[in-house]
Amino acid sequence: MSKIVRMKDIAAMANVSMGTVDRVIHNRGRVSADAQKKVMDVLEQINYKPNLIARTLSSSRNYRVAALLPDAELDPFWRSSIQGIQQAHSEHSQFGITISYHFFDPYSGDSFRQQAHDALESGPDGILLAPTLRQEALDFAGICREQQIPLVCFNTYIHELAPLAFIGQDLHQSGRLAAELMTMIAAPGTILVTHIGEQVQNSAHIGAKETGFREFVREKGSSHFEVNTVQLESPSRSGFKASLAQALETHPHTKGIYVTTSKAYEIARSLEELGKTDIRLIGYDLIDENLTHLRNGTINLLINQNSDRQGFLGISYLTDHLVFQKPIPTLQYLPLSIVTRENLNSYITSQEVN
């Protein structure tokens, strides 16, 4: 068994006082060069490793983290991400972590740029970013590199950002999974890949999902299903239901709709009003609005992206990097969870327990 080396032992070995050892270890107060060399030689000899947690708790150093993500008032999907960030903050605040929140309009590049500017102005030691707008995120990541600010990303993986770490799901695989599920529950016919309020060209997450979806259908179900893409305006604008009705009129043999975001409830609501509830519907995430339609059967399946866990890990990884100088995973994919009306209650219970 290894012997525990106490401060008094180090002092005796270096032939200095305990006060001198304390000042050298904690880098405080004045110590002569000769005394410091004696102590450092002993520390090297015994392979001394400081208790990082104890040292951090005794330190007055604060670490500022800026969280830059879409506004949950405009898209309720982000509520759980914020909850995960807040939970991580409550656990890590004892280590001097403080968080400033910078919420942008997920449909506005100007809003992203303004909030990104404000995040940088806050003087952060690290940044947690949800890079839903591709070009704006690339520009912002470039500034972070120039200013040597550690950047951790979640939700949307963009290789060119080269972040310190990414937490989220394999979006391409997510699209393939959605296609596999759709081909199992929908009758042969047309499937609509539906994007709501976002442009594929600048929204990496929905583009990757559609690519995966089409790839699976092409490989496995091309003789039974035709895939078409429908771009719908934001539901906040008038005419949303009419535009969906027009899409269904254009594609009269539609048997399934795959919604690439958390807004499946918007489609479900319109399908109910249009009397089209026989169309199979798959979307994302366990937000309250989706759960209502999952329970009544208008939404058939939800793929949970564990957004709360993404936010929690993002702050945890930045804490490990900034405070403890610990290595962190560069790529952390979370499981793809399939939730139906039948397993919903047990799934929610298991999440609460964990």
Q: Are residues 189 and 250 in the same domain?
A: yes
The answer to whether residue 326 sits within a structural domain is yes
Under the banding of pLDDT at 50, 70 and 90, the label for residue 199 is low
Report residue 156 as tokens: 């949307």
Q: Are residues 38 and 106 in the same domain?
A: no
pLDDT of residue 1: 35
Q: Are residues 77 and 143 in the same domain?
A: yes
Q: What is the DSSP string of 244-304?
A: HHHHHHHSTTEEEEEESSSTHHHHHHHHHHHT-TTSEEEEE---HHHHHHHHHTSS-EEEE
Give the chain's mean pLDDT. 90
Q: What is the DSSP string of 318-335?
A: HHHHHTS-----SEEEPP
The answer to whether residue 54 sits within a structural domain is no
SS3 305: coil
Residues in CB range of 154: below 8 A, 6 or more apart: 81, 128, 129, 130, 166, 167, 168, 310, 311, 313, 314
Closest C-alpha among 311, 314, 307 to residue 337: 307
Q: Over range 15-30, report the average pLDDT.
A: 79
State which residues form the domain around 244. 171-304
Instruction: State what percent of residues in the chain have pLDDT above 70.
Output: 90
pLDDT tens digits for 281-321?
Answer: 999 999 999 999 999 999 999 999 999 999 999 999 999 99
Give the domain CATH number at 273.
Answer: 3.40.50.2300
- Which neighbouring-strand residues pair with 259? 194
Q: Are residues 277 and 182 in the same domain?
A: yes
Q: Are residues 126 and 157 in the same domain?
A: yes
The answer to whether residue 27 sits within a structural domain is yes
The answer to whether residue 344 sits within a structural domain is no
Q: With beta carbons less than 8 A apart as the criterion, state whether 68 and 127 touch.
A: yes
Q: Are residues 299 and 200 in the same domain?
A: yes
Number of domains in the chain: 3
The answer to whether residue 192 sits within a structural domain is yes
pLDDT of residue 21: 83
Indicate whether 58 pLDDT > 60. Answer: no
Q: Are residues 36 and 119 in the same domain?
A: no
The answer to whether residue 353 sits within a structural domain is no
The answer to whether residue 324 sits within a structural domain is yes
Q: Are residues 158 and 43 in the same domain?
A: no
Q: Are residues 193 and 294 in the same domain?
A: yes
Q: Are residues 164 and 311 in the same domain?
A: yes
Residues in CB range of 165: below 8 A, 6 or more apart: 152, 153, 314, 317, 328, 329, 330, 331, 332
Q: With beta carbons less than 8 A apart as the criterion, state whether 134 and 112 touch.
A: no
Report residue 316 as tokens: 């945890």
Dihedral Cα 261, 267, 269, 274, nearest 10 deg: 180
pLDDT tens digits for 119-169?
Answer: 999 999 999 999 999 999 999 999 999 999 999 999 999 999 999 999 999
Q: Are residues 177 and 286 in the same domain?
A: yes
Q: How far is CA 97 from the centre of its chain?
A: 19
Under the banding of pLDDT at 50, 70 and 90, the label for residue 30 is confident
The answer to whether residue 184 sits within a structural domain is yes
Q: Are residues 176 and 246 in the same domain?
A: yes
Q: What is the pTM of this model?
A: 0.79
Q: With beta carbons less than 8 A apart as the criterion, state whether 74 and 259 touch.
A: no
Give the domain CATH number at 39.
Answer: 1.10.260.40
